Chain A
């Protein structure tokens, strides 16, 4: 069927396109304008037409997301006609789709829990999904590195884990930190040693960066640094960036590291101020690096992280006062409920720093909008955040309502920049799609998957982005006027990477010894999803 989305303001920064025009669709793909009469015309007059949004870092599935729901039943509660971003996978899919997002990635899939995570991802409707395989605290990898095995062996182990868990990429979370925590540590930095292995965090990071490059994984190594949320954490991010030595690297929820210590001699007691300018400058100097923001918004949430050392350290700030820290087979996980106090000094400063980072961005395609859902707050805050980026006046009103410290310790108030619609598309579409290596989305050029969001162009950008007028997934309308009209199921994107048979045999033996269960129990076979085709292969870089 040939479809024409007619007369909208078509915004595709990858094609330098921002003008009234048409978008043509056939067989689920965007095609060149046609001479044929369309079978269907969608009237987009008065609307903005963009590619579907792409989410790179949102905790929407996995054992710790499940635990957060069980720890905080009150947060995930369902109410009639009120989908909840902390609720079911069905609600998550609905709320993303309503905003015009059509792809979302869960960034923390431990290989030991891959099957459950993939089962859960498959139950998120409307979107294409993917998961990143977490490595960096697992005994088998640390043994390889400790024993100075070859880079090829590390590469083969990473490939095996990606293939077995059917992941889209690789993530490392405070490399070695969870292991150090199990041995009693409560602080851990890039050059600290994992006690039982005599390995520094830097060494683990280095091994994984090389492996991801050697395997030509499209998405760069996705890095959660040490010292998240602490004054002086900017040093951790910059040190890690330098440690990459030009290799591609993605920094997760960078806002939580953009905290310069006010008192350098006593960093943990003197409070923090924005390090957004320092990070923006570093990003400009390092074209190999990208980041997502982890914007803070206000209200009750649950922080979810496999960084159990950090979560344990933050336990006493739990609101309400209950929390989980599980020492799992590699990382495990920590759930610490938290309320970002509206107009609270610390929360307000965090809020300002996130906005400042995006507004100082040297390249919006490399500073992706996330809230690190639910860690900084729910992803449903995106429309309001975009509004503030696009509207200096609204931003000034917002900043004026917060404690003075937010303006005094950040540069937000002085920034005049207003994001254009095209920059919003870079921030939420083309940037994240490029970052994930998904060439078939994030743009509107012929050949792209017909994942398209059509918004009514209105001054109230919050309202505009909150409820898309139309959303198409693979060319089919799934949302009309903010309501789901077709409950499609999407696919789970997994990297087509081949595992080495020798490493598979070796790993099977290792797993049998450790778990009394071999590699087959760690697999995610198609048969686990009866009567459905769930996975779609994504090629490695050539």
Chain B
């Protein structure tokens, strides 16, 4: 069984027709989840533009902690492979880095490229106890939380805090490193902590090299942000309700919209695993799922799992890039979500969706 309406198994075509009907009458539809391959995410943005929907990825909160900091002050970051190749110091902020799988990799050996090559790599922890199996130096967490710790560290590095301090030695180590890397999870530090961290890293680069290394979320958020940027010029929480993309991270938070009663239909896109929000059973919803049970929403359609049933462009955490993933268990009838979304768009599009007039934004010279 791969398609259901109201929990009853149906033919796929019937389910797709029901999905189109569900969305066709909507005044304020939402397309959420977006835990999918790049082609399906692209198709979701195209569909949203066609039907005037808003979008919100499952990774929304974590992603916007980083995007908010980025838009506020910028960043200096590096990649996991560069950290492995060059870092003589790695500072793990908070608890998340220790469960990410990255630190064991970094603990294995020292830098092999650049001026730090041949040095040992020092692993440090701040804000949470590290993994006892990995040799590291832990610094005590303050009572005010991780963002405050990062702020203190920034003050110490810049010489703005005088006198003895429990983190003074950590500040010295950061200043003395040739290529420091600070690993963090924006979902844990929050936007304020991420912004403070970016400031700390920039300060350090006045005299040495140090880079932030944000952990990606597990829901394709960093790939979604890219598709959103080239599709709309903005981050992923956008709405097409007025015919052009409007970016508003607060307004187009799908959970907030549902809670406020602003949504009359939804499409939940999750060919890859993502926690199902409770509202898929209360708001008229179409769910495109890689592992469906059939009762998750009013209309449920099973789709192929990208990178498993078929090759796909997906976020690659070790490469920190959108990368090609060959199918690990190819299926001839893979039913990619992108094809269903394109089918829905064809059924729902009116011929005159493109703007008739587009006066140019002037550039003086």
Q: Do A and B share a complex?
A: yes
Q: How many whole Å from A329's CB to the nearest CB in chain B?
A: 5
Chain A residues 489-534 with CB under 8 Å of chain B are 514-517, 520-525, 527-531
Q: Which residues of chain A are near B82, meaning CB under 8 Å?
A: 182, 327-329
Binary contact track B24-39/A, C-beta < 8 Å → 1, others 0:
0000000000000011
8 pairs of A and B residues whose beta carbons are closest in the complex: A87-B233, A76-B233, A297-B365, A116-B322, A521-B323, A381-B363, A322-B74, A66-B229
Contact indicator per residue, chain A 435-453, by CB within 8 Å of chain B (1) or not (0):
0000000000000000000
Question: Mind listing 12 A-B residue pairs with CB under 8 Å?
Answer: A81-B355, A82-B360, A85-B363, A119-B227, A184-B209, A298-B365, A327-B76, A327-B78, A327-B79, A384-B363, A514-B85, A525-B311
Most chain B CB within a 10 A radius of its CB, from A65, A73, A483, A531: A73
Flag whether A86 is at the interface (Cβ < 8 A). yes
Contact residues of A between 84 and 99, Cβ < 8 Å to B: 84-91, 94-95, 98
Q: How far is the CA of A73 from the CA of B74 in the complex (A)?
A: 12
For residue A14, CB closer than 8 A to chain B, the reply is no
Residue in A324, A398, A525 whose CB lies within 8 Å of B75 = A324
- Given A73-B71, A520-B326, are A182 and B365 also a contact pair (CB < 8 Å)? no
Task: Decide: B336 and A83 in contact? CB cutoff 8 A.
Answer: no
Please tell me which stretch of B157-165, B250-258, B266-274, B313-321 contacts chain A, meaning at least 4 of its Cβ atoms lie within 8 angstroms of it.
B313-321
Whether the Cβ atoms of A528 and B72 lie closer than 8 Å is: no
B346 → A minimal CB distance (Å):
11
Residue-wise, chain A 63-84 has the 8 Å CB interface mask toward B (1 for contact) of 1011101111100111111111
Interface range on chain B (Cβ under 8 Å from partner)? 35 or more
Return chain A residues, CB-CB under 8 Å to B208: 184
B178 within 8 A of A: yes
A72 to B233: give the CA distance in the assembly, Å.
10
B338 sits at the interface (CB 8 A): yes
B67: contacting residue among A70, A328, A388, CB under 8 A = A70
User: Of all chain B residues, which has the CB nearest A76?
Assistant: B233
How far is it, in angstroms, between the C-alpha of A335 and the C-alpha of B178 when the chains are bound?
23
Q: Which residues from chain B sit less than 8 Å from chain A, CB to CB?
A: 38-39, 42, 67, 70-79, 81-82, 84-86, 105, 113-115, 117, 178-179, 205, 208-209, 211, 223, 225-227, 229-235, 242-247, 310-313, 316, 318-319, 321-326, 336, 338-339, 342, 354-365
A residues in contact with B359, CB < 8 Å: 81-82
CA distance A483 to B86 in the complex (A): 51
Asked if A71 and B230 make an inter-chain contact with CB atoms under 8 angstroms apart, the answer reads no
- CB of B354 within 8 A of CB of A487, answer yes
Contact A528 B232, beta carbon cutoff 8 Å:
no
Q: Mark A285-313, 1 if CB is under 8 A from B, else 0.
A: 00000000000011100000000000010
A326/B363 contact (C-beta < 8 A), A66-B226, A182-B114, A525-B311 known: no
**A247-305 with Cβ < 8 A to chain B:** 297-299
Q: Decide: A89 and B231 in contact? CB cutoff 8 A.
A: yes
Supposing A66-B230, A78-B244, A115-B313 touch, asked if A377 and B322 sit within 8 A by C-beta, the answer is no
* Cβ-defined contact, A326 with B78, below 8 A: yes
Contact B179 A182 (CB under 8 A): yes
Contact partner of B209 among A65, A297, A327, CB < 8 A?
A: A327
Question: Assuming A89-B230, A120-B230, A139-B113, is B360 touching A83 (CB within 8 A)?
Answer: yes
Given A123-B230, A324-B76, A327-B211: A84 touches B38 (CB 8 Å cut-off): no
Q: Which residues of A contact B179 (CB under 8 A)?
A: 182
Interface residue from A196, A297, A322 paired with B115 (Cβ < 8 Å): A196
A119-B322, A380-B361, A530-B336 given as contacts; is B74 within 8 A of A88 (CB)? no
**B230 near A378 (CB under 8 angstroms)?**
no
Q: Is the CB of B358 within 8 A of A83?
A: yes
A70 near B229 (CB under 8 angstroms)?
Answer: yes
Known: A324-B77, A342-B364, A521-B323. 20 other contacts (CB 8 A): A67-B70, A73-B234, A73-B247, A78-B246, A80-B355, A82-B360, A94-B358, A98-B360, A116-B223, A179-B114, A299-B363, A323-B74, A324-B76, A326-B78, A326-B211, A327-B211, A329-B79, A329-B82, A380-B362, A521-B324
A528 to B86, CA, bound (A): 32
How far apart sit A139 and B361, CA to CA, in the bound complex (Å)?
Answer: 42
Q: Nearest residue in B to A520 (C-beta to C-beta)?
A: B326
A380 touches B363 (CB 8 A): yes
A327-B205 Cα distance, complex, nearest whole Å = 12
CA–CA, A243 and B115, complex, Å: 28
Is A466 located at the chain interface by the 8 A CB criterion?
yes
Residues from chain A with Cβ under 8 Å of B362 in the complex: 380
Contact of A70 among B77, B105, B225, B319 (CB under 8 A): B225
| Contact status A95-B230, CB under 8 Å | no
Complex Cα spacing A92 to B365, Å = 20
Of A90, A179, A385, A530, the residue contacting B39 (CB under 8 A) is A530
B354 touches A329 (CB 8 A): no
Knowing A195-B115, A381-B365 are in contact, say whether A527-B311 is a contact too (CB < 8 A). Answer: yes
- Is A351 engaged at the interface, CB distance under 8 Å to the other chain? yes
Q: Is the CB of A384 within 8 A of B357?
A: no
Scan residues 470-501 of chain A and give those whose CB is less than 8 A from a CB of chain B: 483-484, 487
Q: Does A319 contact B (CB under 8 A)?
A: no
A119–B323 alpha-carbon span in the complex (Å):
11
Indicate the member of B76, B233, B336, B342 with the most A CB atoms within 10 Å: B233
CB-nearest residue of chain B to A125: B354
| Chain A residues, CB < 8 A from B42 | 119, 123
Q: Could you say which residues of chain A place their CB within 8 Å of the CB of B72?
A: 322
Smallest CB–CB gap between B142 and chain A, Å?
Answer: 27
Q: Are A335 and B74 in contact (CB under 8 A)?
A: yes
